[in-house]
Amino acid sequence: MEDILALRIYKTFVGILGILGNSLVCLVIFKVRSMKTRTNAFIFHQAVIDLLGSTMVLLKSEVPLPSPLPDDALGWFLCHVWFSNLVLFYFFVISTFNLLVLTMERYFAIVYPFKYLAVFMKYPCLKVGVIMAICWVIAAAMKSYLMLIFILQDGECLSVPGSRAVGILTAFFEYVIPVVVMLFAYIRISVEMKRGAAQHLPGGANAPDMAESLLRARRSTFKMLLIVFVTFLICWTPNELIFFMFNVGWLDLEFNEWYYLLSVAMVATNCCANPVIYAFKYRQFRSGLKELFCLCRKSRPNLDSSYIATGGYPTQLQEDIQTT
């Protein structure tokens, strides 16, 4: 249970908001047929991960721990898994890698559209599923390190200094590399979109209306994902900086320090932020939300043939244009 009342209230609010918001995102994408695109598949995965992360935030805030911890298997579990935030940060890191994958999916779809279509021409569902599974495996391999920096001693769970090399590698692979890659991708996407959409239309088509629709759709999705990326930076940077300084020996940190707990709360905020961003900046999600709750009905393109041809996903051109 969170000892600081203000943080407890805040994390409880964040947990509940994250559970409700991400559940709504999952429901809209799952129920509304026009939302079943490759991009939205990764957004659905992001929402599932953030839903689990929000649940853990709520449990960590409200579930009390025995004091002192028992000197048995339960005590070992509570110290090395629960108190260490292993499960919580496992979901947080999966969310980071999924955001990286989501960004790169848009990057290849816009910068290298024909290669992108060739890759996903066969077995698109299987390939998307494999990519998602890789995110879970990599995150598990990376966050297992948290189990090694805590010891159970006299009923208390104490942190021990981490390895300088492991601390640097952890911060590098779970934060620095994803940030640098995503930043590069957004810059290249921005440059590519300025060149216009007409040259990317398959079959050499140059219809002005279709080109404008494609460009408008890609700009809308790009802006939405850019806001998601900036929010990720704001929420994650303090915690990663603190964790890095602790592991290289620059900071004498106890994991119940207020500033560390505040940094964890900021990371937790990222779990509930994305649904809010989708609601305000993702036009396709807003349309799907209205359709789901019958707030309005409007005609939509017939995508039956494209769903059959692509194993459940529309062609990339149709997928992009739907976003407008």
Q: What is the pLDDT of residue 299?
A: 43
List the domain range (segments joined by +) for residue 245: 5-321
Q: What is the pLDDT of residue 303?
A: 41
Number of compact structural domains in the chain: 1
Q: What is the pLDDT of residue 295?
A: 53
Q: What is the pLDDT of residue 220?
A: 76
Tens of each residue's pLDDT in the chain, 324 residues: 667 788 888 889 999 999 999 999 999 999 988 888 888 999 999 999 999 999 999 998 888 888 888 888 888 898 888 888 889 889 989 999 999 999 999 899 888 888 888 888 888 888 999 999 999 999 998 888 888 778 888 888 887 765 566 767 878 888 999 999 999 999 998 888 777 654 545 544 445 555 566 667 677 778 888 899 999 999 999 988 887 887 777 777 776 777 888 888 888 899 899 999 988 888 888 888 888 887 555 444 444 433 333 344 444 444 554 444
Q: What is the pLDDT of residue 212?
A: 64
The residues near 149 (Cβ < 8 Å, ≥ 6 apart) are 84, 159, 160, 161, 162
CA separation for the pair 22, 123 (Å, rounded): 27
* 74-80 CB contacts, 8 Å cutoff, 24+ apart: 75/152, 75/155, 76/152, 78/157, 79/150, 79/151, 79/152, 79/157, 80/146, 80/147, 80/150, 80/152, 80/157
CA separation for the pair 97, 281 (Å, rounded): 22
CATH number at residue 41: 1.20.1070.10
- Write down the residue that tokens 């066969």 correspond to: 122
With left for phi above 0 and alpha for psi between -120 and 50, is residue 249 left, alpha or beta?
A: left
CA separation for the pair 242, 269 (Å, rounded): 17
Please list the residues that pair with 150 across neighbouring strands.
159
User: Among 75, 79, 243, which residue's Cα sits nearest to residue 170?
Assistant: 243
Amino acid 91 reads F
